[in-house]
Every structure is written in structure tokens, then in C-alpha cells.
């Protein structure tokens, strides 16, 4: 059965060192792709909704003792030594969590059949904007042909880089290899990972007392233990698991893309249920839900108690309407009609928007006073002659900031680089007579009060970009809408029918 019906375009090219990731034309190299693994795994389960929901719900609880109990129930894995040194720079205060669904058949999961090894048919990047302004879950189709970097095996040794399906990264190198792969493809710095298995998924759904779905017709799928009537209904336990696993139940065309769309509707419903006022105002239900999640996930060692508290606090009050789910835009893979590849023209803007997601602007600093103590108003941007100097290891950052300032009317005369120094902070300096010009730049770049540079050029302003990075408010591109994306507050009966 075909997994994509999209027209072919281009081919993937080898991984490039730039943070934008590998896109564009170029003949694929490396070993030939292996036949698809059929009948395995739970596909793209709603694990992202579980992770996001726990963060949203956790913002409603207080008390160190409760947090400590939850923290002690989470299984953790150290992956730091397997991520390598050549990672994308972290450009802002956003949080990016890699979410995976494991189809391990160990322990409680043995009842779902015997399968050797481990796989993850779920690869989703959960992006939470600075300050809890919004959240986006981005699904990566399991059949995407991509360049996978060299990875460390979980039990020692190396897996060479290769061209393969994206979910093979987890099968051979575990969570750390999937982490490295997504960073290399997108140029997005990932902060943490979370993994959920079959039994954990059921446990969480049951803690919510079920999740609402809507199906267009009666479903009978014995293989997935799924029997559903037409229309709205609540699913729990094995029914919920069967709903997100089914391949032959007549829901959609059987492709991964169709399945992902249906499962994104399920994620939206989980978020909506978890953030319902009745749930958040019942301490017992809230703790039971959070405890079920904690017992069901594995995470990296750095996703500790203090990090979870901080993130949960920043998300407090976020509504379901600010949560979106989307799939990386793909197209047919020319060498195999059962595979897909990223669409260069559509995936790149999505990844770049996620990379550059910015925090809300801070209040403007006070106007710089003159030496005599009088306050001088800033001049118009066009009267600010300035230079932009990149003191980080992020290639092209100075040019990008200069272009953004130019779009705001500043007269950037020079763009240069300085030796990167660990801990160097972004700052605005001004030469003799350029106080008002510096004040104008400081007004456009809140949080960076200017200071004099007595040996600088007269009337000239210097912007030094340090390792703490820099954001030009009002210039970040919003994350583009993707065809078929799902918002968590949408009508459940209008979703997931493809």
C-alpha cells in the first residue's frame, strides 16, 4: 500500500554544516533504503499531548512535596555524552522537547506481541515559545528518507551516517540518535527528550477518565482490538490505544500521513480534556493525572525538578487555542513510492521560524542622559550610523541582525566579526557625540543599555552580539501555517477524518 500520494519533486542532499539543515536538489548517496517494516509499532501516538498536558496541568499545582513525589516517579537516561559537539546554537529562550513513542514489548507491553529490539514510530518536536505564548507539536513522518548522522550505540560502538528512514535512528541508536538526527535536519536546538510506551499511554488516558474522539463510520478492527460506533464517543485503555494504532479500520487511506492527521486530532482532544476547568480545579484528579504521566515516561537527566517547575509556571494559563499540531511538509521520494522526503520550499521556512522564535519585547530602557544631566530624546533610526559585530560562533548571525535593523530604518555601515569569548554579553557602545543615536538603538533593542566608548569613532554606534544572543523585536517571522494543521480547541468531529 502506498504511503504517499503526493507528486515527486527533487531529492535529498547530504547533510550541510549550516544550521538550516539539508534541503534542495542533489542525488542521494549512501546505502539503499530497506523495505518498510509493516504491522509494527503504535505509529504516531498522542504522546506529545501527554507531555504538553502535564506541563500545562502542572502549572496549577504548588508545593514542593507534590513536585518531589512526581519527580521521583520519572525514569531518566543520560544522553549528554552521545549528542556530540557540533550542535545547533540556542538562539532564544524557547523550549524544544523531542517526544518519542516506544513500541518495546518488554514488561507490561508483552501482551502486544513479540518484537525484537526497539523502534519509535513517533517522532515529534514539541516547541514551547518563550513565556508560554504558544506551543506547536511538529510530527515527522516515519517513512521520511533523511540523512542520519553518525551515532553512538546504546551499548557501545558507532552507527555510521547513512541515508535511511527517520525512525531507523531510534532503532539503532536510541533516543540520542533520534535527537542528533532531528537537530541536524532542522537546525533547531533540542533541550530535552521524553519517551512513552504502550502501557504508559493507556495509563495516562485512563487517568483522564477517557478522551473524546469522533469517527465518521462504525469501526471493527480485530487486529487493533478496536470496535467503535459512528460519531462522538469517549475511549479509554485498549480502545484508545487501538484507535491510534489501527491500520485497517477504514480510517483514511492507510498512509502514515493520513494516520498522523487523525492522531493529531487525538492529541488536541487530550490537551483540551487535560486543561478543562473541572480537571484543573480538582486537586485529586490533577495529581492522579500527573502521577500517571510521571510513571509512564522516560526523560533525559537534565529534565529535572527545577526545570519542570519553571516550565510549568511559564505555561500557567495557556489556553488550548494556543496549541497547534502540524506535520513537516513532505513530498514523494522519487526512488520509492512508499517513502517521502521533506519539501525544501515548505519545510525550511517552518524550521527557520522555530529557530528564531522570540520572547515578547521587554520594556524600553530610559533615554540615555547627557553629561550635564539633561535627558535627550533619541533620534530617528535613519540618523543612527552604526556597525554590527558578531562575537559568537554562529555563522551569519551578524549579517542577519544587520538586515533586520536595516529593515527598521537603521543605517548599518559595517558588519564584522570579533573573536568569540565565552560569557561575552551583547552590548551597545557609542563614540563621542553619539548618545542620542545609541539611545535610539537601545529603544529598538530592549535590555541593552548603551555605554560610552571614548576611543570609538565620533557619532558612531557599535552593536556587539555576545554569546547570550540577540533578538530584534518585531522582525521574527511567525511560524507559518501548514496545510492540515490542527488546533487543540477545534471541533473534534471536524478533525482526523482523512
In the chain, what percentage of residues exceed pLDDT 90?
Answer: 25
Which residue would you say has higher pLDDT here, 22 or 315? 315
Residues 6 or more apart from 180 whose CB is under 8 A from it? 82, 83, 84, 149, 151, 169, 173
CB count within 10 Å of CB 270 equals 23
Three-state secondary structure call for residue 350: helix
Bridge partners of 126?
Answer: 97, 137
How far apart CA 385 and CA 316 sit, in angstroms, is 43
> What does the pLDDT read at residue 486?
79
What pLDDT score was predicted for residue 358?
Answer: 61
> What is the tens place of the pLDDT at every residue in 11-54?
333 333 333 332 333 323 333 333 323 233 333 334 455 565 66
The C-alpha cell of 216 is what?
465518521
Is the per-residue pLDDT at 10 higher than 80? no
Digit-coded pLDDT (tens) for 289-309? 888 888 888 899 998 877 877
Q: Which residues contact 89 (CB under 8 A, 6 or more apart)?
A: 19, 189, 392, 393, 394, 469
* Nearest-angstrom CA–CA distance, 241 and 46: 10
5-9, 194-198, 274-278: range with lowest mean pLDDT: 5-9
Q: DSSP class of residue 108?
A: G
- pLDDT higher at 16 or 360: 360
Residue 166 has pLDDT above 60, yes or no: yes
Against a cut of 0.85, is the pTM above it?
Answer: no
Is residue 131 within 8 A of residue 227, CB to CB? The reply is: no
Per-residue pLDDT reduced to its tens digit, 192-238: 998 877 677 788 788 888 889 888 888 888 877 788 899 999 998 88
Mean pLDDT (the chain, rounded): 76
Least Cα distance to 472 among 414, 391, 388 occurs for 388
The pLDDT, as a whole number, for residue 147 is 96
Residues facing 196 on adjacent strands: 101, 297
**Residues of the chain above pLDDT 70, percent:** 71
Q: What is the three-state SS of 227-280? A: EECCEEEEECHHHHHHHHHCCCCCCCCCCHHHHHHHHHHHHHHHHHHHCCHHHH
- Determine which of 1-5, 221-225, 254-258 has the lowest per-residue pLDDT on average: 1-5
Three cell numbers, residue 333: 521520494
CB 139 within 8 A of CB 44: yes
DSSP state of 294: H
Average pLDDT for residues 324-352, to the nearest whole number?
Answer: 90
- Of 50 and 67, the structure prediction assigns the larger pLDDT to 67
| Tens-place pLDDT, residues 76-96 | 999 998 998 889 988 878 889
pLDDT of 447 higher than 70 = yes
Averaging pLDDT over each range in 35-49, 266-280, 458-472, which range is the top one? 458-472
Helix or strand (DSSP H, E) at 220: strand 219-221
Largest CA distance in the chain: 84
Q: Quick one: pLDDT band at residue 67, thresholds 50, 70, 90? A: confident
pLDDT band at 102 (very low <50, low <70, confident <90, very high): low
Cell readout for 266 is 487525538
pLDDT digit string, tens, across residues 386-426: 999 999 888 888 998 999 999 899 999 999 998 877 778 89
Q: Give CA angle at 323 (120, 146), nearest 5°.
A: 35
pLDDT at 362 over 60: no
Q: Which one-letter DSSP state was computed for residue 380?
A: P
The DSSP H or E segment spanning 159 is strand 158-159
152, β-bridge pairs: 158
Amino acid at each position: 500500500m502506498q504511503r504517499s500520494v503526493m507528486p515527486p519533486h527533487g531529492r535529498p542532499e547530504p547533510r550541510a554544516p549550516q544550521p538550516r539543515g539539508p534541503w534542495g536538489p542533489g542525488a542521494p548517496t549512501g546505502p539503499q533504503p530497506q523495505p518498510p517494516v509493516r504491522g509494527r509499532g503504535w505509529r504516531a501516538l498522542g504522546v506529545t499531548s501527554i507531555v504538553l498536558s502535564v506541563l500545562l496541568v502542572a502549572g496549577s499545582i504548588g508545593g514542593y512535596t507534590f513536585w518531589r513525589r512526581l519527580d521521583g516517579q520519572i525514569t531518566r537516561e543520560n544522553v549528554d555524552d552521545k549528542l556530540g559537539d557540533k550542535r545547533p546554537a540556542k538562539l532564544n529562550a524557547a523550549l524544544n522537547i523531542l517526544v518519542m513513542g516506544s513500541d518495546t514489548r518488554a514488561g507490561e507491553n508483552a501482551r502486544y506481541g513479540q518484537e525484537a529490539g526497539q523502534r519509535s514510530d513517533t517522532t515529534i518536536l514539541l516547541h514551547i515559545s518563550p513565556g508560554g505564548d504558544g506551543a506547536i507539536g511538529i510530527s515527522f513522518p516515519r517513512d521520511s528518507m533523511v540523512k542520519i548522522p553518525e551515532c553512538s550505540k546504546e551499548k557501545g560502538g558507532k552507527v555510521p551516517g547513512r541515508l535511511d528512514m527517520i525512525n531507523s535512528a531510534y532503532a539503532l541508536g536510541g533516543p540520542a540518535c533520534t535527537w542528533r538526527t532531528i537537530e541536524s535536519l532542522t537546525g533547531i536546538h533540542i533541550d530535552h527528550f521524553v519517551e512513552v510506551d504502550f502501557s504508559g499511554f493507556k495509563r495516562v488516558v485512563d487517568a483522564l477518565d477517557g478522551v473524546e474522539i469522533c469517527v465518521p463510520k462504525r469501526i471493527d478492527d480485530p487486529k487493533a482490538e478496536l470496535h467503535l460506533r459512528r460519531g462522538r464517543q469517549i475511549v479509554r485503555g485498549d480502545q484508545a490505544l487501538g484507535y491510534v494504532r489501527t491500520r485497517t479500520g477504514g480510517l483514511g487511506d492507510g498512509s502514515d500521513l493520513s494516520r498522523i492527521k487523525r492522531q493529531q486530532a487525538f492529541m488536541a482532544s487530550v490537551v483540551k480534556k487535560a486543561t478543562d476547568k473541572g480537571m484543573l480545579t480538582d486537586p485529586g484528579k490533577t495529581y492522579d493525572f500527573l502521577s500517571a504521566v510521571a510513571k509512564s515516561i522516560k526523560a533525559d537527566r537534565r529534565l529535572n525538578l527545577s526545570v519542570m517547575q519553571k516550565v510549568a509556571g511559564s505555561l500557567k494559563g495557556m489556553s488550548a487555542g494556543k496549541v497547534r499540531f502540524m506535520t513537516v511538509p513532505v513530498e514523494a521520494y522519487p526512488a520509492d513510492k512508499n517513502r517521502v522526503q521533506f519539501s525544501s520550499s515548505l519545510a525550511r521556512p517552518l524550521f527557520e521560524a522555530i529557530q528564531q522564535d522570540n520572547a515578547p519585547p521587554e520594556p524600553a530602557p530610559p533615554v540615555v542622559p547627557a553629561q550635564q544631566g539633561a535627558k535627550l530624546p533619541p533620534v530617528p533610526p535613519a540618523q543612527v550610523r552604526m556597525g554590527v559585530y558578531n562575537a559568537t560562533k554562529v555563522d551569519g548571525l551578524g549579517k542577519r541582525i544587520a538586515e533586520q535593523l536595516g529593515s527598521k530604518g537603521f543605517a548599518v555601515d559595517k558588519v564584522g566579526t570579533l573573536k568569540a569569548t565565552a560569557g561575552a554579553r551583547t552590548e551597545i557602545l557609542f563614540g563621542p557625540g553619539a548618545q542620542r543615536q545609541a539611545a535610539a538603538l537601545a529603544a529598538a533593542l530592549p535590555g541593552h543599555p548603551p555605554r560610552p566608548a571614548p576611543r570609538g569613532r565620533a557619532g558612531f554606534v557599535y552593536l556587539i552580539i555576545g554569546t547570550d544572543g540577540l533578538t530584534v523585536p518585531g522582525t521574527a517571522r511567525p511560524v507559518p501555517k501548514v496545510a492540515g494543521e490542527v488546533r487543540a480547541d477545534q471541533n473534534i468531529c471536524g478533525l482526523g477524518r482523512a
